[in-house]
């Protein structure tokens, strides 16, 4: 899997930004200054949603990095439904003002991937992990630790994009997917992992450490 450069604006957003600019022009032509203002606000929202800034990667070798920007909504023991094991689960909720580019939490090989269609309930709710549309990656680190990273669609999210497939090797902080318009990412870790994040914390993809592997 090739690394994706950081052009500031995510490639997934280019068609939407083009559409927003077309709407801006149409509104300005039809409604003058008032239409231009409304169109400019819409275009600014679309541009900020699809921003994709570069991030610094922490060098701590056993660190599990946040795969997404957002707020921690869950930290605690849980059952990993993908690997059928007990695990430490950490969930990050993304609102429409967060960066929605998803990045690998660890260095590792993609051992498996699963996609499940589902509902679109509020991604801040814990039941979203099992009810909503979701895409999961099983990553195995170089030290043999298993990490499951799950993209979960939200209330208005309607498209999960994942570019990683079994056999790919991901580096910590490497961009591997995107979720459009509000969502969450669940990370399932070995039960002996030590959490570094707490419920309510605001985290940033790649730069924030969620946990340390034992």
Confidence of residue 82 (pLDDT cuts 50, 70, 90): very high
Identify which of 32-41, 54-63, 68-77 has the greatest average pLDDT: 68-77
Is 183 an active-site residue?
yes
Q: Domain 63-212 carries which CATH code?
A: 2.70.70.10
What pTM, to 2 d.p., does this model score? 0.86
Residue 91 Cα distances to 23, 34, 117, 119, 150, angstroms? 36, 41, 19, 18, 9
Quick check: 141 and 213 in contact, CB under 8 A?
A: yes
Which one of the listed residues 66, 91, 104, 183 is annotated catalytic?
183
Selection from 214, 183, 204, 201 nearest residue 75 by Cα: 201
pLDDT in tens, 110-132: 999 999 886 666 555 666 666 67
Lowest mean pLDDT: which of 146-150, 151-155, 156-160? Answer: 156-160
Q: Stretch 192-204: mean pLDDT, rounded?
A: 96
195, 180, 167: which is closest to 94 by C-alpha? Answer: 180
User: Strand 63-65 and strand 108-116: pairing?
Assistant: unpaired
CB 116 within 8 A of CB 142: no
**Residues in contact with 212: Cβ distance below 8 Å, sequence separation at least 6, in sequence order:** 60, 62, 63, 64, 193, 194, 196
pLDDT in tens, 155-187: 665 578 899 999 999 999 999 998 876 688 999
Contact 109, 169 (CB under 8 A): yes
């Amino acid at each position: 899997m090739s690394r994706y450069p950081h052009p500031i604006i995510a490639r997934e957003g280019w068609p939407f930004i083009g559409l927003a600019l077309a709407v801006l022009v149409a509104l300005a032509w039809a409604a003058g200054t008032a239409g231009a203002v409304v169109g400019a606000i819409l275009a600014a929202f679309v541009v900020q949603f699809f921003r994709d800034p570069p991030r610094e990667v922490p060098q701590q070798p056993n660190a599990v990095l946040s795969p997404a920007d957002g707020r921690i909504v869950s930290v605690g023991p849980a059952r990993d439904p993908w690997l059928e094991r007990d695990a430490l689960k950490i969930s990050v909720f993304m609102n429409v003002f967060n960066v929605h580019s998803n990045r690998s939490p660890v260095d590792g090989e993609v051992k498996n991937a699963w996609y499940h269609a589902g509902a679109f309930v509020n991604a801040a709710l814990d039941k979203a992990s099992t009810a909503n549309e979701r895409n999961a990656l099983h990553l195995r680190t170089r030290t043999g630790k298993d990490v499951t990273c799950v993209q979960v669609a939200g209330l208005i999210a309607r498209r999960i994009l994942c570019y990683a497939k079994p056999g790919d090797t991901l580096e910590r902080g490497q961009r591997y997917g995107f979720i459009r318009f509000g969502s969450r990412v669940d990370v399932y870790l070995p039960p002996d992992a030590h959490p570094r994040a707490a419920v309510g914390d605001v985290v940033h993809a790649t730069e924030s450490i969620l946990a340390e592997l034992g």
